[in-house]
Amino acid sequence: MLIAAGVSCLFKEGIVLEITFSAFSILGIGALAILLTRKHDAKIQKREGYLIVALGWFLMTLSGLLPYWISGFIPNFSASFFETMSGYTTTGATILADIEALPKSLLFWRSVTHWIGGMGIIVLAIAILPFLGIGGFQLFTAEVPGLSSDKLHPRIADTAKRLWQIYLGLTLVETLLLTAAGMSFFDAINHAMSTISTGGFST
């Protein structure tokens, strides 16, 4: 989200404060949640794994809609929720009739939600959890029930990191190829994030 604020600053769009406020609101709430729960047992069982996955998607959507809603470009809360959920689930459906009417920073944020959703919010969380002293196997099995653990690297967190490295590498390669083919860098990186995630959002 802070990168989207940087994009807004770069293109002088005038919504830097709104996006930055959205980002720091989420960081503040997250920091408060960590402080309030730091003494609790960090072990996750299968039941908690399913609950965290369900709540994770819902909370990510609530936090992701803030730039649209606070900036006023999608003032309807349910429309902002729909656009964000469509991004994170890589559905590609949109409530926007005129995509190009959105500032570049919000178009970038829209593509980022697609990109994160393409790999999976929970897979991203699993890559971060070891820093918090939490194991990620239960979350992984709740998010990706079709894969068996014997087909994966022994450490789930290592698997998640490797998947993200490959995903990021493919995104960068596609961005460079689209730029070399004549697309502007901004459009290239947005379309790379959209196509790698198989979502379909465009600028």
Asked, for residue 40, whether it belongs to a domain, the answer is yes
What is the domain extent for residue 187? Answer: 2-196
Asked, for residue 201, whether it belongs to a domain, the answer is no
pTM: 0.80
* Mean pLDDT, all residues of the chain: 83
Task: Examine the pLDDT at 152 and tell me if it is beyond 50.
Answer: no
Asked, for residue 203, whether it belongs to a domain, the answer is no
The per-residue pLDDT for 139 is 54
Rounded average pLDDT over 22-42: 85
The most distant pair of C-alpha atoms in the chain lies apart, rounded to whole Å, by 54
* Both tokens assigned to 186: 């901004």
* Both tokens assigned to 187: 């459009």
Number of structural domains in the chain: 1
pLDDT per residue as tens digits for the range 50-99? 777 778 888 889 999 999 999 999 999 999 999 999 999 888 899 999 99
pLDDT bin (cut points 50, 70, 90) of residue 198 is: confident
pLDDT per residue as tens digits for the range 111-120? 999 898 888 7
Task: Examine the pLDDT at 36 and tell me if it is beyond 50.
Answer: yes
pLDDT bin (cut points 50, 70, 90) of residue 123 is: low
Q: How many degrees, rounded to 5, is the angle at CA 116 between CA 183 and CA 196?
A: 40
Asked, for residue 6, whether it belongs to a domain, the answer is yes
